[in-house]
Amino acid sequence: MLFHVKMDVAVSRDLDPDERARLVGTEKERALELQRAGTWVHLWRIVGQYSNISIFDVDSTDELHEILWSLPLFPFMRVQVTPLAQHPSALAAQP
């Protein structure tokens, strides 16, 4: 199942700078791990924002939920999830 996920990050300004650096580093490690596993298929920065648009390929909504909750920056995120279906005019849908 494919999902479009928009993540807006708003880390508290009064968070200790060392803790912030640690969280950002562990977030990057987790994102790379999920990309290497083929679960986090696309990751795109939204220009001028601390946000991203991502495509996840998972077996269920429960799996996606667990993945999102496992992200170190999740407590600082606003997340919007949209399920995706193949478009009949897409090249991938053609015989």
Neighbours of 74 (CB within 10 A): 15
**52-95 pLDDT, tens per residue?**
999 999 999 999 999 999 999 999 999 999 999 999 998 888 88
Strand residue runs (E) in 1-95: 2-9, 40-45, 51-57, 77-84
Query: Per-residue confidence at 41, pLDDT binned at 50, 70, 90?
Result: very high
Residue 72 to residue 86: CA distance in whole angstroms: 31
Helix (H) or strand (E) run with residue 44 in it: strand 40-45
Residue range 6-23, pLDDT digits in tens: 999 999 889 999 999 999
Q: Which domains does the chain have, with CATH numbers?
A: 2-93 (3.30.70.1060)
